[in-house]
Amino acid sequence: MASITNRKGKYYVVYWFDSFDGKRKQKWEQCENYEEAIFKKKKIEDEVNNQVFLAPSNQTIREFLETFVELYGTKHWGFNNYKANTGLLNNYVYPLIGDKKIQSFSTLNVDQYINKLTKTKNVNYGVRKNAPQYVSPNTIKSVVKLLRCAWRQALRWEVVKKNVFIDCNLPYCESKEREIWTATEIQHALEICEDQILYLCINLSFSCSLRIGELLALTWDNVFIDDEDFEKDNTRLIIDKQFVRIDKEMIGVLTKDEIYKQFDTQLKRECKTVLVLKSLKMNGKARTVWIPRTVAYMLKEWKKKQNDIKKKLGSIYDDNNLVICFEDGKPIEKTNIDKRFKRFIKVNNLREVVFHSLRHSSATYKLKLSKGDIKATQGDTGHKSADMITKRYAHIIDEDRKVNATKFEDEFYASKENEEKDDASELLDILKNNDALREQLKKMLSL
């Protein structure tokens, strides 16, 4: 246990502890006087007995976060998240608070840090188009979310006593709803679209609620459009992978994402990234999406066309079994589809939206069709939880609630008013045909 030592007129509480790195160390804590030393000694012993003692550490925030990334990040983050999170740490955490001691970093320090972030220059300012001069509220929110997760692990690993990033004061963050096309606008776009690949991509994204990475990763072995499927009204897709470009150095580092296939680079110069088919974005679970007959027939015709091209090109055809690909079979990247879509909108003077908004249009349309069936829509979109659907598409659910209010008015209040009108009409008819009752009513009203 702890002991009190007097050295040159100063009191110290001395005790041994096991450090975070597993080494046995001794700690001398100086006190102002003997009474404070007694109080400090009792506090340490109580914490040890109650198993809440925290081994003192001079570990800096940077040192801890590097351990956090190695032990937690490599196992729980996908490629994109890993790149984004390490970027946030390198740009906005290490330079500002990396040398601070993690155990002495308080809730006050957190608010001071957030305030400092609002006055810190954005690393993308002057590099990316329309990048704000200072760190945006959205970026600050992402930084705090990451550090809250890190401190949660620090608490679990008994490095800190509490998570100081809970309930911190974040700057106001205005959330803007993504602009989306209505079903009518999508119908019009499809009527005038002459790009066959883009035409098929728009149909698949809207009818199946697919992310662009999932759409481009779709392979024919996961497309069920045989005659038997049509007969049983069972035409469907299995979504079990996504198509992305990642840093080569990340391959083998992360364990969450599984890579199924790497594609040879189509660039002549040396490239630090590589195109891959990998596991899905959220929970990695495959999902089935049933497709309308019209879209199924489109896919059937598209497959027939692909097979004809394969026969013509022979060994030149790069067969990757992809549904969406160039004429020679090589994969198409997201940037290619985005450029086609943007050009299509500009040429035809359509309302500006991004390709990903078609997925939001799809979820919106399905919620309306199903009268707010969130679980059914979630099954198609592949969102991790139903709450994400509720939050993102709350305006659609609100529309249904407005309809319910109208129905309530028609069915309850309006019908009650009509009943009262019917009762009054019936009473008038009785009085017209009954002279004695009419005279009696006159006498009563005159009293």
Percentage of the chain beyond pLDDT 90 is 44
Residue percentage of the chain with pLDDT more than 70 = 77
Query: Residue 431: is its pLDDT beyond 70?
Result: no
Across the range 270-290, mean pLDDT stands at 81
Q: What is the pLDDT of residue 24?
A: 79
Residue 269's pLDDT is what? 65
Q: What is the mean pLDDT of residues 306-332?
A: 94
CA distances from 181 to 4, 202, 351, 363 (A): 73, 12, 8, 12
pLDDT at 35: 84
Identify the CA nearest to 330 among candidates 215, 216, 195, 213: 216
* Lowest pLDDT segment from 23-37, 98-112, 199-213: 23-37
In angstroms, the CA 183 to CA 257 distance is 35
pLDDT higher at 176 or 98 = 98
Give the model's pLDDT for residue 304: 95
Q: Is 263 exposed, middle or buried (0-12, 13-18, 19+ CB in 10 A)?
A: middle
154 vs 104: CA distance, rounded Å: 13
121-130, 224-233, 338-347, 398-407: which range is least confident on average?
A: 398-407
Mean pLDDT of 175-200: 90
Query: Which range in 16-20, 81-85, 361-365 is most confidently predicted, on average pLDDT?
Result: 81-85
Cα separation, 74 vs 82, whole angstroms: 7
Lookup: tokens for 104 = 């002495």
Quote the pLDDT of residue 128.
77
Q: Average per-residue pLDDT in the chain?
A: 83
List the one residue out of 182, 18, 24, 20 whose CA is nearest residue 101: 20
**What Cα–Cα distance (Å) separates residue 77 from each residue in 62, 81, 221, 278?**
19, 6, 28, 13
Mean pLDDT comparison of 78-82, 342-346, 388-392, 394-398, highest-scoring range = 342-346
pLDDT, tens only, 139-175: 999 999 999 999 999 988 888 889 999 988 898 877 7
- Which secondary structure element, helix H or strand E, spans residue 4, and what is its range? strand 3-7
- The predicted model gives 319-340 an average pLDDT of 94
Mean pLDDT of 109-122: 95
Report which secondary-structure segment, H or E, holds 429: helix 414-433
Q: Considering Cα of 73, then 78, then 81, then 87, what sign does the dihedral take?
A: positive
The segment with the largest mean pLDDT, out of 128-132, 269-273, 317-321, 358-362, is 317-321
pLDDT in tens, 200-223: 999 999 988 898 999 999 999 999
> What one-character-per-residue DSSP string does 130-175 give?
T--SB--HHHHHHHHHHHHHHHHHHHHTTS-SS-TTTT--PPP---
Q: Is the pLDDT of residue 195 over 80?
A: yes
Does the pTM exceed 0.95? no
In this predicted structure, the answer to whether residue 436 has a pLDDT above a threshold of 90 is: no
pLDDT of residue 53: 62
- The pLDDT tens digits for 33-58 are 888 888 878 887 777 677 666 666 78
Q: Which of 382, 380, 364, 384 is nearest to 372 (CA)?
A: 364
At 4, is the pLDDT very low, low, confident or very high (cuts 50, 70, 90)? confident
pLDDT at 8 over 70: yes
